[in-house]
Amino acid sequence: MSQLTRFDALKAIAAEYPTEPIVVALGTMVREMLLVGRRDSHLYVLDSMGLVPAIGLGVALSPAAQAFDRVVAVEGDGGLLMGLSTLATIGLLKPEKLLLVVLDNGVYAATGMQRTAAPSVDLCAVAQACGIKAHDIAAADELATALREARQRAGPMLLRVAIGPENRPAPYFLPDPVELTLTFQRYLALDAEQAPST
C-alpha cells in the first residue's frame, strides 16, 4: 500500500466536493490545492495558522451553508494542534454540515520538516472525546469512500488522513486577500440564492 501524498488527498477532496465550500489552510496546502485547480468555492487562507477549523465552523453555522451538503475545512496536523481547542467548540455546537479533514504528515512540512507533536497524539480520539465523529484514513480507496460517506452522515466529522511529508513544487500564491473574500462570498451568496427555501 503506497502512502498518500498531500496532492493525492487534496485531489480526492476536490473531486468529491466540487461545488461545496472548502476552506484551505496556509502554505503548501493552499499552493498544492491550486495545482489541483483554483475554484471560486475555495477559501484560500494565506496565513492565520491554526484558524481553519474555526473559519470552517463559522461558514458551517452561517445561512449560506444551507445551500450545500457540506462545508469542508482542510487543515494540517500542525495547524490543528495550534487551534486544538476549537474541537471543543465544534463538539459543543455540533454543526451538521462541517467536515474537517486533517492531512497529517507529522511535520511542519512548509518550514523545513520540523516535527509536530501529532505522532504522539490520537487525533481521532481527541475529536471523539469532544463529541465529533472521527475516522483514521491511510489509503487512497479508504479516503474516497470516507469522503463519499461523509456526505451522507450528519456531522460534524473529522477525517484524519495519514500522508507523506513531501511537498510538490508549486509557485507562491500572492493575491490581495480581499479578492479571495469577494470571490468566496459571491460564490456562497449565489448558491444560497439558488437553494430551495426551507
- Where on the phi/psi map is residue 143: left (φ > 0), alpha (ψ -120 to 50), or beta? alpha
Supply the minimum distance, in Å, between the C-beta of residue 71 and another protein.
8
Q: Is 189 in the site for another protein (CB under 8 A)?
A: yes
**Stretch of 49-57, 105-113, 145-153, 154-162 contacting another protein, by CB under 8 A:** 49-57
Between 71 and 161, name the residue whose CB sits nearer to another protein.
71
Q: From CA 178, how far away is CA 7, in angstroms rounded? A: 26
Q: Does 108 bind another protein (CB under 8 A)?
A: no
Which of these, 15, 57, 20, lies nearest to 192 by C-alpha position? 20
Q: Looking up cell 518550514, which residue turns up?
A: 111
Length of the chain: 198
Q: Is 57 in the site for another protein (CB under 8 A)?
A: yes
What's the rounded Cα separation, in Å, for the pair 110 and 165? 9
In one-letter notation, the amino acid at residue 11 is: K
* Residue 91 found at the interface with another protein (CB under 8 A): no
Q: Which is nearer to another protein, 28 or 86 (CB)?
A: 86
Bond before 177 cis per omega within 30 degrees: no
111 binds another protein, rule: CB under 8 A: no
Contact set with another protein (CB under 8 A): 23, 43, 45-48, 50-65, 83, 85-86, 88-89, 92-93, 177-178, 180-181, 184-185, 188-189, 192
